[in-house]
C-alpha cells in the first residue's frame, strides 16, 4: 500500500522561479491495483509519480510504502527501494543511446551483482515476452517509438518490482500501439503488480483495467473515483 | 563475488560509455599520452645517462691531485709525485698529461691525452667516434694538428674507441707522451695532474688531508666528489628540462580539468537515468572512477612505453642536445635501458590518481541531486 500524507513539493525554493507543484496531497493506493493520475499539463502528475517512486523527496509531508516511512530514509536506502520496488517507464523512455537493447534492459540490475548468465537469461525472457527479442543486439536509437517503449518496459521489469510507474506512456504512441501498451500493463497487473500511471489520455484513464482514477489540478486532488 | 560481478558490470558500462563519447575521450587520451611521454622521456633519459656516466666513472682513479695557482688549475711539477709517493698508505702515483685542442676548421674542442705505455707510435693516435665525425675524417686517415709553436703535426689514426665508452671518450685524442709534449709545449718536468692510488680506499680522505698539508698549493679531488658532481649535474639538467616542460604540463591540467570536470547535458541526463533506475551515488562514482582510470591508465602506459622506445630505441632526438650537453660535441651512443621504478611510481601517482579523482567531482555533484531534478 502507498500512502501520501500532506505531501507538498516546491521547486527552486527561495528563488524567483519558485514553484509549488504539489499542495498538501493526501492519498492512499492499495496494492495490486491500476491507478491513473489524470489532469492537464502542469497539474503535478509527474511530480507526484517522482515522489511515490523515490526519485524526489517531498518538501514537506510523508510517504509510506507498505507501512514503511520513506521520506526520512538516507539516499542509499532510497536507491535500494527504487531498484527493488519500482520499475519506471518514462514519457520519453530515457533509454541510453549507443547501447544495445539487451544492455539497456540489464542496466538496473548492474548494482545488484547478479551473475551475468542469469541476468542475460532474465533480460532475454522479458524481451521474448514483449516480443522484441529479435532486436536484442540492436542499438536502441535504431528502434521505432513503440519498440523503444517495449524496451523501457522490459527494463522496468528486470528487477521484478512490485510497482510499475509509467509517466504519460501513450504520449508518443498511435491508438493501436497505445492499446497494445494497455494490454501489456493489464498482463503486468494480472501478475500481481501495482501499476501507477500519469496520463491525460482518455484511452488510458477510461480503460477497463483501471481501478482508481485520481484527478489533479494545480497541484491539488480535485477528483477521486 | 557479488562485489566482483558489480565491478565487472561497472567496467563494462564504463567502456561502453567511453566508446559513446569517442571524440572527447580520444582528445583527452592524446594530450594525456603526450604529456606523460614528454615527462617520462626526460626521466628515462637523465636516469640512463646518469647511470651510464657513473658506471664509466666508477673506473676513474680514487684520487687526483691538481696544483692550483691563484685559484686556477696549474701544471704539477713531477717532483710532487715523488713526495706524495712517500706518504704511508699511498700505493702509486702516476703523472697524467692531458689538455684541450681547439680545431678551428670543425669549430670543435677536443680532449688530448697522453698515455704511457702507448701501444702505437709517436705519429699515431687513438680517437673517439666524435672526433671522426666532426673532424671530417674516417678511420685510417690522418689528423693534422697545429702545435703550440705553429708547427704542423700529422697523426695517423691507429684505432678508435669502442662505442660503449663514447660518453667520455667521444671527443678524446689519445697520443704518446712525446707527441703530447711536442703538441702542447708542456715542459718535461711537469704534468697536468697526478693520479694517486691508495692501499686502503677508506683512507682516501686522510691521505688527501696529508697531501694538502705537505703541498699546500695542491687540491686533491676524490672520486666520490666527482661522482657527486656528475649526479647533481644530470639532476640539474633533467630538472631544467622538466621546468621547460612544466608549461606544457600546466596546459594539460587546464585542458584536462576543463574536459574532465565539465559534464555535457547528455552525461548529466545519463547519470539522472541511472539514479532513477536504482543506481546509488557510490555506483555512479565507481563508474566515473573507472572511466578516469581507464583514460589515465591507457594514457600513462602509452606515454611511458612511447618514451621508453623514444629514449632507448631512437636516439632521443627531442632532448639529447639539452641533456647531454657535451661541450660542442654531441656523442652518439645508445643508452642501456634503465628505468627508475621510484620515479615511474611518482609519475603514476601524480597523473593517474589526480585525474581519476578530478573526473569524479562533477559526477558526484550530479549524483547527489534528486534524479527527478536532473532529468527535468
**Per-residue pLDDT reduced to its tens digit, B307-348:** 988 888 876 677 666 655 544 444 455 567 777 788 888 888
- Are A55 and B371 within 8 A, CB to CB? yes
| Burial of residue A224, with CB atoms counted within 10 A of its CB: 0-12 exposed, 13-18 middle, 19 or more buried | exposed
**Option in B3, B280, B372 nearest A50 (CB):** B372
Q: What distance, in Å, lies between the first and last C-alpha atoms of chain A?
A: 17
List the single best residue of A63, A96, A151 to mutate versus B (max B Cβ within 10 A): A96
Q: Is the peptide bond before B117 cis (omega within 30 degrees of 0)?
A: yes
- Largest distance between two CA atoms of chain A: 52
Query: pLDDT value at position B166?
Result: 58
- Helix, strand, or coil here: B289? helix
Mean pLDDT of the A150-171 span: 92
Chain A residues in contact with B11 by the CB 8 A cut-off are: none
- Pairing state between β A194-198 and A34-38: parallel
Q: What is the pLDDT of residues B38-66, one digit of tens each?
A: 888 888 877 777 777 777 677 778 899 99
Query: pLDDT value at position B331?
Result: 46
Taken in order B237, B242, B243, B247, the sign of the CA dihedral is positive
Q: What is the pLDDT of residues A26-38, one digit of tens each?
A: 999 998 999 999 9
Contact between A103 and A135 (Cβ < 8 Å): no
Q: What distance, in Å, lies between the first and last C-alpha atoms of chain B?
A: 36
Query: pLDDT value at position A3?
Result: 93
Look up the pTM and report it. 0.68
- Are B279 and A79 within 8 A, CB to CB? yes
Mean pLDDT of the A138-144 span: 93
- Are A90 and B375 within 8 A, CB to CB? yes
Query: pLDDT value at position B324?
Result: 57
Query: pLDDT value at position B76?
Result: 95
- Are B20 and A97 within 8 A, CB to CB? yes
B222 vs B208: CA distance, rounded Å: 8
Contact between A85 and A108 (Cβ < 8 Å): no
Residue A200 exposure: Cα atoms within 13 Å on the Cβ side: 10
- Are A94 and B375 within 8 A, CB to CB? yes
Q: What is the pLDDT of residues A60-91, one digit of tens each?
A: 999 999 888 888 888 888 899 999 999 999 98
The grid cell for B75 is 701544471
A123 vs A144: CA distance, rounded Å: 20
Domains of chain A (ranges; CATH) run 2-224 (3.40.50.300)
List the single best residue of B8, B277, B369 to mutate versus A (max A Cβ within 10 A): B277
B359 vs A74: CA distance, rounded Å: 25
Query: pLDDT value at position B117?
Result: 84
Chain B residues in contact with A84 by the CB 8 A cut-off are: 278
Chain B residues in contact with A107 by the CB 8 A cut-off are: 13, 274, 277
Chain A: closest CA distance from residue B250 (Å)? 34
- Are A75 and B280 within 8 A, CB to CB? yes
Domains of chain B (ranges; CATH) run 2-57+229-375 (no CATH), 76-191 (2.40.40.20)
Number of Cβ atoms within 10 Å of the Cβ of B193: 23
**Option in A55, A96, A111 nearest B372 (CB):** A55
Chain B: closest CA distance from residue A57 (Å)? 8
Chain A: closest CA distance from residue B360 (Å)? 18
**Option in A79, A96, A113 nearest B6 (CB):** A113
**CA-to-CA separations, B339 to B206, B305, B322, in angstroms, rounded:** 37, 11, 20
Chain A: closest CA distance from residue B13 (Å)? 9
Mean pLDDT of the A124-129 span: 93
B286 vs B367: CA distance, rounded Å: 11
**β-bridge partners, A194:** A163
- Are A99 and B16 within 8 A, CB to CB? yes
Residues of A with CB under 8 A from a CB of B: 11, 47, 50, 53, 55-57, 75-76, 79-80, 82-84, 86, 88, 90, 94, 96-99, 103, 107-108, 110-116, 155, 159
**pLDDT over 90, % of chain A:** 66
Contact between B355 and B252 (Cβ < 8 Å): no
Contact between A168 and A40 (Cβ < 8 Å): no
Chain A: closest CA distance from residue B370 (Å)? 5
Contact between B278 and A108 (Cβ < 8 Å): yes
What is the phi-psi region of residue B299: left when phi exceeds 0, alpha when psi lies from -120 to 50, beta otherwise?
Answer: alpha
Residues of chain B with pLDDT under 70: 56, 137-140, 162-168, 234, 236-238, 240-242, 244-245, 248, 252, 255-256, 259-261, 315-316, 319-335, 375-376
A111 vs A119: CA distance, rounded Å: 12
Amino acid at each position: 500500500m502507498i500512502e501520501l500524507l500532506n505531501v507538498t513539493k516546491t521547486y527552486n525554493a527561495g528563488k524567483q522561479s519558485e514553484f509549488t507543484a504539489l499542495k498538501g496531497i493526501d492519498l492512499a493506493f492499495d496494492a495490486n491495483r491500476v491507478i491513473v493520475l489524470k489532469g492537464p499539463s502542469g497539474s503535478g502528475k509527474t511530480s507526484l509519480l517522482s515522489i511515490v517512486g523515490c526519485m524526489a523527496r517531498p518538501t514537506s509531508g510523508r510517504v509510506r510504502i507498505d507501512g514503511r516511512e520513506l521520506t526520512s530514509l538516507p539516499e542509499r536506502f532510497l536507491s535500494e527501494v527504487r531498484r527493488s520496488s519500482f520499475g519506471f517507464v518514462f514519457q520519453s523512455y530515457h533509454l541510453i543511446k549507443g547501447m544495445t537493447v539487451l544492455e539497456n534492459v540489464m542496466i538496473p540490475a548492474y548494482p545488484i551483482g547478479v551473475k551475468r548468465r542469469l541476468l542475460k537469461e532474465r533480460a532475454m525472457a522479458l524481451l521474448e515476452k514483449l516480443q522484441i527479442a529479435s532486436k536484442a543486439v540492436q542499438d536502441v536509437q535504431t528502434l521505432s517509438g513503440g519498440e523503444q517503449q517495449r524496451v523501457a518496459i522490459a527494463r522496468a521489469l528486470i528487477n521484478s518490482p512490485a510497482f510499475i510507474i509509467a509517466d504519460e506512456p501513450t504520449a508518443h504512441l498511435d491508438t493501436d500501439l497505445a492499446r497494445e501498451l494497455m494490454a501489456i500493463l493489464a498482463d503486468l497487473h494480472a501478475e500481481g503488480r501495482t501499476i501507477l500511471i500519469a496520463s491525460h489520455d482518455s484511452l488510458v484513464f477510461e480503460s477497463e483495467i483501471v481501478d482508481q482514477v485520481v484527478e489533479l489540478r494545480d497541484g491539488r486532488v480535485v477528483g477521486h473515483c | 563475488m557479488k562485489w566482483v560481478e558489480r565491478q565487472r558490470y561497472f567496467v563494462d558500462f564504463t567502456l561502453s560509455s567511453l566508446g559513446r563519447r569517442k571524440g572527447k575521450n580520444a582528445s583527452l587520451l592524446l594530450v594525456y599520452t603526450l604529456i606523460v611521454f614528454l615527462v617520462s622521456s626526460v626521466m628515462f633519459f637523465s636516469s640512463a645517462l646518469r647511470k651510464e656516466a657513473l658506471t664509466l666513472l666508477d673506473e676513474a682513479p680514487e684520487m687526483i691531485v691538481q696544483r692550483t695557482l691563484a685559484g686556477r688549475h696549474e701544471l704539477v711539477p713531477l717532483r710532487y709525485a715523488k713526495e706524495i709517493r712517500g706518504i704511508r698508505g699511498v700505493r702509486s702515483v702516476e703523472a697524467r698529461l692531458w689538455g684541450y685542442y681547439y680545431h678551428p676548421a670543425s669549430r670543435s674542442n677536443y680532449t688530448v691525452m697522453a698515455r704511457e705505455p702507448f701501444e702505437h707510435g709517436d705519429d699515431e693516435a687513438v680517437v673517439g667516434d666524435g672526433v671522426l665525425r666532426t673532424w671530417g675524417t674516417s678511420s685510417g686517415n690522418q689528423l693534422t694538428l697545429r702545435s703550440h709553436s705553429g708547427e704542423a703535426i700529422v697523426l695517423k689514426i691507429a684505432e678508435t674507441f669502442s662505442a660503449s665508452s663514447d660518453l667520455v671518450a667521444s671527443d678524446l685524442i689519445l697520443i704518446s707522451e712525446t707527441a703530447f709534449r711536442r703538441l702542447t709545449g708542456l715542459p718535461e718536468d711537469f704534468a697536468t695532474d697526478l693520479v694517486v692510488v691508495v692501499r686502503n680506499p677508506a683512507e682516501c680522505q686522510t691521505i688527501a688531508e696529508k697531501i694538502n698539508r705537505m703541498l699546500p698549493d695542491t687540491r686533491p679531488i676524490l672520486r666520490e666528489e666527482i661522482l657527486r658532481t656528475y649526479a647533481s649535474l644530470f639532476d640539474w639538467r633533467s630538472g631544467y628540462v622538466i621546468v621547460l616542460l612544466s608549461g606544457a604540463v600546466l596546459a594539460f591540467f587546464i585542458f584536462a580539468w576543463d574536459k574532465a570536470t565539465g559534464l555535457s547535458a547528455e552525461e548529466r541526463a545519463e547519470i539522472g537515468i541511472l539514479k532513477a533506475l536504482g543506481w546509488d551515488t557510490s555506483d555512479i562514482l565507481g563508474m566515473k572512477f573507472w572511466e578516469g582510470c581507464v583514460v589515465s591508465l591507457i594514457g600513462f602506459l602509452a606515454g611511458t612505453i612511447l618514451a621508453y622506445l623514444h629514449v632507448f630505441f631512437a636516439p632521443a632526438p627531442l632532448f639529447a642536445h639539452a641533456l647531454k650537453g657535451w661541450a660542442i660535441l654531441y656523442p652518439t651512443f645508445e643508452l642501456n635501458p634503465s628505468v627508475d621504478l621510484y620515479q615511474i611510481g611518482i609519475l603514476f601517482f601524480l597523473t593517474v590518481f589526480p585525474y581519476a579523482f578530478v573526473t569524479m567531482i562533477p559526477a558526484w555533484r550530479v549524483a547527489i541531486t534528486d534524479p527527478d531534478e536532473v532529468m527535468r
